[in-house]
């Protein structure tokens, strides 16, 4: 019997879930109060909630990045797009524009950036790493132009609520990240988009010859990635109540790529799982938080992160799969 | 040519077990010095495993290998080469960006004061190549030469390095007829020098043209070894398949009628630097074969008609309406389907499942907003797996794990699921074992009888004769003529291709 599509990722998900649990347990070991939650003013507080809240921007980036990587591409510009969207939002907020206008403007800018990347990749056939590098570099310049070189701050209640409010006891960024991941996962799995993305990622020529509209699918993937980046940028701006064109989202594209890789999507394209990318993003944040809580110098963070990533990749590597063949049933991936 | 009777290579009871499969089960094989020994079998029979064990790529689980009487055990390919066993694969394993001479002596260049001595390198290369009747400049870049020349350079290197046993693994798969002749001369020359040649191929004609003896494997077991004189085509095929195949399976039993009105008509249809303008009409219920030598523009024609390359001259009329076929997507919407020659890079989507590969074209046509439900897509896949007898343990298995013949059937299923009206098949039987080969040909005939229009490109002329109503002959990227009716014979087609050649030479 074959499993229905949404459940198919489950057997393959074991390393990610296991890693997440291990990292959480490690945090608990160095900081016994780690799992403590308390309810105050209808909001949950605690280290675990912090992990989810802090991890939300990368989780949101990872959602879009998953689609792009599944097409055998990569989007290096998401950090810069965060900065642009944040700059646009902050400038409009400082100007006193209503929240719907701010959201619409920032998201449109993000979508536009994504479509620009998609245009370079799908129509002009430029390699994704180069195509998105262009916006990665110029994006911060554009963001600075928007803020006219200043750090723009605002006191706009509506925009502050994007990161500052809570829903069902959870911080709004966590709600946004989960809702977005759920929505995009539903979009790709309940339409044929998921199949077409995987097909293009594995073999674009063959897919095109089979009549797949590869260009539109690629445009859609990069467009979604741009949208996700804008959303993450909004949260980042709302969080610090301002826009810092130089530092907003800096290096987060790398965390997003890492999250996707930890989530088991191959950089060679093909099979992907948005929900596992989300787990990947939270694994990264849990490690960050763990280092902070343990009192180790933050410099250790990078080394611990690298070690954990090496471990995960080794577990996922073909060599490990061969080894597993001796112990368990064959063909973990259907 | 006369082979001595002492075995040069003697394999006894060779056994190789992969997890769950006995890939070789007590296989015996002897190779005499100076003979060309064809190794045959369907895909999965154990040919590649035998060669890989022999050349040290795989270890063995039982049996004995003796070379000139002494037991050997190659640790890796380089070790096998040192022992005297050289291998040349279908895809030439050389460096196309280096010169011919550098490729021949890579890793053992003559040196002078620690530097490569280019002069003696060139001289040695020229001397080596002379033995092969190859008049190429040793300083020319290897990649600039045809595959045949590269193949011969690879052979020259292998023989020079090892010098006792030469294994040729499907050396002719990407060569045209003229190049095959040249290659065969080289191989015969080597046999005369006392080298034992093991020759793996899918082309039975080539076995009869070249081999002295034949060994057939099936399911990892030895079926038998025969002298070529004791065999005819049918008995050889029967050995490979393990069943009798009557000659009449090759003949076409027509039941359907060819419609009078063409489904698609192409007039002055061409593209610069791709295919010269051509006129061609294809009617429902007929098979149009496309014949020609390698590089004559067969594949280019197929890709042009399917919109992979857009035409820049002429017009296309489908169902009486002029159309512009700008992309495969447009072609598919018109009811076209296309199975490419290069299955691996242009046909299958390797990591996706058999089911996903089968529904891909249908899903692409419906658009992403109208997904086939899991149930629907499983039903479609199951139906075609049964209908075309696609052998797979599970429709959720990645298609790359299937054999070539089953991949080809899945690609056919991909298009049949879209209920096409015109199928373009480019080399549908290339690299497919004999059993699946016959099945695909029968399938082509059945589809044609069902009223489909088919255009089939093939380099196997007997095959074209077996199913084609008309044959378009190509040369130098130009359609030079269409043979119809009684003219569709091997002789007629070969003559049509050849006469054009003479004309070109004069």
Pair B44, B88: CB distance under 8 Å: no
What DSSP string runs through A104-148?
Answer: HHHHHHHHHHHHHHHIIIIIS---HHHHHHHHHHHHHHHHHHHHT
The model's pLDDT over B230-251, given as tens digits with 9 standing for 90+, comes to: 887 777 877 876 654 444 444 4
Q: Averaging pLDDT over each range in A239-253, B33-47, B93-107, which range is the top one?
A: A239-253
Beta strands in B89-143 (DSSP E): 111-112, 115-116
What DSSP string runs through B347-382?
Answer: I--TTSBHHHHHHHHHHHHH-TTSPPPHHHHHHHHH
pLDDT band at B1 (very low <50, low <70, confident <90, very high): very low
pLDDT computed for residue B243 by the predictor: 55
Strands B196-200 and A170-171: unpaired
The chain A residue lying nearest B400, using CA atoms, is A202
- Higher pLDDT, residue A297 or B4: A297
Pair B42, B433: CB distance under 8 Å: yes
Report CB contact under 8 Å: B352, A193. no
Residues B212, B216, B222, B223, CA torsion sign: negative
Report CB contact under 8 Å: B356, A199. yes
Q: Does A267 touch chain B (CB under 8 A)?
A: no
The model's pLDDT over B300-332, given as tens digits with 9 standing for 90+, comes to: 999 999 999 999 999 999 998 999 999 999 999
Residues B132, B136, B137, B138, CA torsion sign: negative
Which residues lie closer than 8 Å to B294 by C-beta, 6 or more apart?
A: B174, B175, B176, B179, B459
Tokens 């290369």, residue? B125
Helix or strand or coil: residue B421? coil
Residues of chain A under the 50 pLDDT cut: 1-10, 327-334
Q: How far apart are CA B293 and CA B457, in angstroms?
A: 11
Pair B272, B231: CB distance under 8 Å: no
Pair B216, B41: CB distance under 8 Å: yes
Q: How far apart are CA B216 and CA B29, in angstroms?
A: 10
Task: Kindly tell me the burial class for residue B245, based on how many C-beta atoms sit within 10 Å of its own C-beta (0-12, 13-18, 19 or more).
Answer: middle
Q: How far apart are the first and last CA of chain B?
A: 36
Beta strands in B201-299 (DSSP E): 213-218, 221-227, 264-271, 275-282, 287-291
b or e along B447-479 (b: 16 or more beta carbons within 10 Å of the residue's beta carbon)? bbeebbbbbbbbbbbebbbbbbbbbbbbbebbb
Q: How far apart are CA B372 and CA A20, in angstroms?
A: 35
Chain B residue numbers with beta carbons less than 8 Å from the beta carbon of A195 are 352, 356, 360, 363, 371
Interface test with A, best of B352, B357, B392 (most A CBs within 10 A): B352
Report CB contact under 8 Å: B374, A5. yes
- Residue B69's CB is within 10 A of a number of other CB atoms, namely 9
User: Partners of B425 in the beta sheet?
Assistant: B339, B456
**H/E stretch holding A38:** strand A38-40
pLDDT computed for residue B57 by the predictor: 85
Q: Domain coordinates of chain A in residue numbers?
A: 14-32+42-316
Chain B residue numbers with beta carbons less than 8 Å from the beta carbon of A193 are 368
Q: Does A190 touch chain B (CB under 8 A)?
A: yes
Chain A residue numbers with beta carbons less than 8 Å from the beta carbon of B373 are none
The model's pLDDT over B175-199, given as tens digits with 9 standing for 90+, comes to: 777 778 888 888 998 899 889 999 9
User: Partners of A142 in the beta sheet?
Assistant: none
Closest Cβ–Cβ partner in A196, A217, A334 for B396: A334
The Cα of B378 is separated from the nearest Cα of chain A by a number of Å equal to 10
The upper half-sphere exposure of residue A152, i.e. CA atoms within 13 Å in the direction of its Cβ, equals 27
Which residues lie closer than 8 Å to B68 by C-beta, 6 or more apart?
A: B8, B164
Whether pLDDT at B479 is above 80 = yes
Pair B380, A11: CB distance under 8 Å: no
The chain A residue lying nearest B358, using CA atoms, is A210
Q: Considering only residues 134 to 193 of chain B, which have any Cβ-Cβ distance to chain A shorter than 8 Å?
A: none
Q: How far apart are CA A231 and CA B200, in angstroms?
A: 59
Task: Kindly tell me the burial class for residue A331, based on how many C-beta atoms sit within 10 Å of its own C-beta (0-12, 13-18, 19 or more).
Answer: middle
ipTM of the complex: 0.84
Q: How far apart are CA A80 and CA B130, in angstroms?
A: 62
Task: Kindly tell me the burial class for residue B379, based on how many C-beta atoms sit within 10 Å of its own C-beta (0-12, 13-18, 19 or more).
Answer: middle
pLDDT computed for residue B498 by the predictor: 67
Which residues lie closer than 8 Å to A309 by C-beta, 6 or more apart?
A: A258, A261, A262
The chain A residue lying nearest B361, using CA atoms, is A210
Lowest mean pLDDT among A305-314, B202-211, B264-273: A305-314
Closest Cβ–Cβ partner in A5, A192, A202 for B349: A202
Pair A81, A281: CB distance under 8 Å: no
Paired tokens of B7 = 């075995």
pLDDT computed for residue B43 by the predictor: 64
User: Partners of B321 in the beta sheet?
Assistant: B318
Q: How far apart are CA A317 and CA B67, in angstroms?
A: 39
What structural domains and CATH numbers belong to chain B? 7-248 (3.40.50.300), 249-335+420-506 (3.40.50.300), 347-419 (no CATH)
The model's pLDDT over B424-448, given as tens digits with 9 standing for 90+, comes to: 999 888 777 777 888 888 888 888 8
Q: How far apart are CA A280 and CA A228, in angstroms?
A: 16
Interface test with B, best of A210, A216, A219, A221 (most B CBs within 10 A): A210
Whether pLDDT at B121 is above 80 = yes
Output phi, psi for A170, to 5 deg.
Answer: -100, 145
Q: How far apart are CA B474 and CA B293, in angstroms?
A: 8
pLDDT computed for residue A324 by the predictor: 56
Domain covering A14-32+42-316, topology = ABC transporter involved in vitamin B12 uptake, BtuC (1.10.3470)
Q: Does A5 touch chain B (CB under 8 A)?
A: yes
Distances (CA, A) of B429 to A109, A140, B412: 52, 55, 12
Q: Does A35 touch chain B (CB under 8 A)?
A: no
Q: How far apart are CA A128 and CA A268, in angstroms?
A: 12
- Higher pLDDT, residue B118 or A253: A253
Report CB contact under 8 Å: A209, B346. yes
Closest Cβ–Cβ partner in B350, B364, B396 for A212: B364
Whether pLDDT at B6 is above 90 = no
The model's pLDDT over B384-417, given as tens digits with 9 standing for 90+, comes to: 999 888 888 889 999 988 888 889 999 999 999 9
Beta strands in B126-164 (DSSP E): none
Residues B469, B474, B478, B482, CA torsion sign: negative
Q: How far apart are CA B308 and CA B328, in angstroms?
A: 6
**H/E stretch holding A310:** helix A299-316
User: CA dihedral defined by B35, B36, B41, B43, rounded to 10 degrees?
Assistant: 130
Q: Does B400 touch chain A (CB under 8 A)?
A: no
Residues B131, B132, B135, B138, CA torsion sign: negative
pLDDT band at B252 (very low <50, low <70, confident <90, very high): low
b or e along B23-56 (b: 16 or more beta carbons within 10 Å of the residue's beta carbon)? bbbebebbbbbbbbbbbbbbbbbbbbbbbbbbbb
The Cα of B39 is separated from the nearest Cα of chain A by a number of Å equal to 31
Q: How far apart are CA A208 and CA A213, in angstroms?
A: 6
The Cα of B413 is separated from the nearest Cα of chain A by a number of Å equal to 12
Task: Kindly tell me the burial class for residue B427, based on how many C-beta atoms sit within 10 Å of its own C-beta (0-12, 13-18, 19 or more).
Answer: buried
Pair A49, A172: CB distance under 8 Å: no
Closest Cβ–Cβ partner in B349, B372, B395 for A206: B349
b or e along B141-155 (b: 16 or more beta carbons within 10 Å of the residue's beta carbon)? ebeebbbbbbbbbbb
pLDDT band at B253 (very low <50, low <70, confident <90, very high): low
Output phi, psi for B460, to 5 deg.
Answer: -95, 105
Helices and strands in chain B, H and E counts: 16, 22
DSSP structural state of residue B288: E
Q: Considering only residues 254 to 313 of chain B, which have any Cβ-Cβ distance to chain A shorter than 8 Å?
A: 306, 308
pLDDT computed for residue A161 by the predictor: 86
Q: How far apart are CA B366 and CA A213, in angstroms?
A: 11
The model's pLDDT over B64-86, given as tens digits with 9 standing for 90+, comes to: 899 888 888 888 888 888 888 88
Chain A residue numbers with beta carbons less than 8 Å from the beta carbon of B331 are 211
**H/E stretch holding A281:** helix A274-294
Chain A residue numbers with beta carbons less than 8 Å from the beta carbon of B332 are 210-211
Pair B197, B229: CB distance under 8 Å: no
Tokens 């190659």, residue? B74
């Amino acid at each position: 019997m074959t499993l229905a599509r949404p459940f198919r990722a489950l057997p393959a998900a074991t390393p990610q879930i296991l890693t997440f649990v291990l990292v959480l347990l490690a945090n608990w070991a160095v900081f016994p109060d780690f799992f403590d939650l308390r309810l105050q003013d209808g909001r949950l507080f605690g280290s675990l909630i912090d992990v989810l809240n802090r991890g939300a921007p990368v989780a949101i980036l990872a959602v879009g990045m998953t689609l792009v990587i599944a097409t055998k591409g990569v989007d290096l510009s998401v950090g810069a797009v965060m900065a642009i969207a944040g700059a646009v939002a902050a400038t409009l907020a400082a100007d006193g524009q209503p929240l719907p206008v701010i959201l619409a403007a920032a998201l449109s800018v993000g979508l536009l950036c994504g479509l620009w990347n998609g245009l370079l990749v799908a129509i002009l056939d430029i390699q994704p790493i180069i195509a998105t590098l262009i916006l990665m570099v110029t994006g911060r310049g554009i963001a600075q132009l928007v803020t006219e070189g200043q750090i723009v701050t605002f006191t706009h209640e509506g925009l502050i609520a994007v990161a500052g409010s809570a829903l069902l006891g959870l911080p709004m960024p966590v709600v946004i990240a989960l809702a977005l991941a759920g929505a995009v996962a539903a979009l790709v799995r309940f339409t044929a988009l998921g199949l077409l993305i995987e097909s293009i990622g594995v073999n674009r020529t063959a897919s095109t010859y089979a009549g797949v509209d590869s260009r539109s699918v690629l445009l859609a993937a990069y467009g979604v990635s741009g949208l996700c980046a804008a959303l993450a940028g909004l949260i980042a701006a709302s969080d610090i109540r301002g826009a810092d064109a130089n530092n907003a989202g800096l290096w987060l594209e790398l965390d997003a790529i890492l999250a996707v890789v930890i989530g088991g999507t191959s950089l060679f394209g093909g099979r992907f799982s948005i929900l596992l990318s989300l787990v990947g993003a939270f694994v990264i944040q849990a490690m960050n938080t763990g280092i902070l809580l343990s009192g180790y110098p933050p410099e250790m963070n990078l080394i611990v992160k690298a070690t954990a990533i090496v471990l995960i990749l080794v577990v996922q590597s073909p060599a490990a799969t061969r080894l597993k063949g001796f112990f368990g049933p064959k063909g973990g991936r259907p | 040519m006369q082979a001595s009777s002492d075995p040069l290579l003697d394999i006894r009871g060779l056994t190789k077990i992969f997890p769950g499969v006995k890939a070789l089960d007590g296989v015996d094989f002897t190779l005499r010095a100076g003979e060309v020994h064809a190794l045959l079998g369907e895909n999965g029979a154990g040919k590649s495993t035998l060669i890989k064990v022999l050349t040290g790529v795989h270890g063995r689980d039982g049996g004995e290998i003796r070379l000139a009487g002494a037991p050997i055990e190659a640790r890796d390919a380089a070790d096998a080469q040192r022992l005297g066993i050289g291998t040349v694969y279908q895809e030439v394993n050389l460096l196309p960006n280096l010169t011919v001479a550098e490729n021949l002596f890579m890793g053992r260049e003559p040196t002078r004061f620690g530097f490569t001595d280019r002069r003696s390198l060139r001289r040695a290369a020229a001397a080596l190549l002379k033995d092969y009747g190859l008049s190429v400049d040793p300083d020319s870049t290897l990649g600039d030469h045809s595959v045949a020349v590269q193949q011969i350079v690879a052979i020259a290197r292998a023989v020079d390095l090892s010098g006792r046993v030469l294994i040729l693994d499907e050396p002719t798969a990407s060569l045209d007829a003229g190049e095959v002749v040249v290659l065969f001369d080289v191989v015969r020359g080597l046999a005369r020098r006392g080298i034992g040649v093991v020759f793996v191929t899918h082309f039975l004609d080539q076995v009869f043209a070249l081999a002295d003896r034949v060994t057939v494997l099936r399911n990892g077991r030895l079926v038998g070894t025969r002298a070529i004189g004791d065999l005819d085509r049918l008995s050889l095929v029967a050995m490979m398949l393990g069943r009798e195949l009557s000659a009449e399976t090759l003949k076409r039993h027509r039941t359907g009628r060819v419609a009078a009105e063409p489904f698609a008509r192409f007039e002055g249809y061409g593209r610069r630097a791709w295919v010269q303008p051509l006129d061609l009409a294809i009617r429902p219920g007929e098979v149009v074969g496309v014949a020609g030598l390698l590089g004559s523009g067969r594949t280019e024609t197929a890709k042009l008609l399917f919109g992979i390359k857009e035409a820049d001259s002429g017009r296309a009329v489908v169902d009486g309406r002029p159309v512009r076929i700008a992309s495969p997507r447009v072609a598919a919407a018109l009811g076209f389907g296309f199975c490419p020659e290069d299955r691996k890079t242009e046909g299958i989507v390797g990591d996706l499942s058999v089911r996903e590969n089968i529904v891909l074209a249908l899903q692409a046509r419906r658009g992403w907003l109208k997904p086939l439900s899991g149930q629907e897509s499983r039903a479609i896949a199951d139906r075609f797996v049964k209908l075309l007898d696609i052998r797979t343990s599970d429709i959720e298995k990645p298609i790359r794990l299937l054999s070539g013949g089953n991949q080809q059937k899945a690609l056919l299923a991909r298009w049949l699921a879209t209920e096409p009206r015109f199928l373009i098949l480019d080399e549908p039987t290339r690299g497919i074992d004999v059993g699946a080969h016959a099945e695909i040909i029968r399938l082509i005939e059945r589809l044609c009888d069902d009223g489909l229009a088919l255009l089939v490109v093939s380099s196997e002329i007997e095959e074209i004769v077996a199913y084609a109503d008309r044959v378009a002959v190509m040369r130098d990227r130009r359609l030079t003529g269409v043979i119809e009716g009684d003219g569709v014979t091997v002789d007629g087609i070969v003559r049509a291709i050849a006469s054009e050649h003479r004309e070109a030479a004069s």
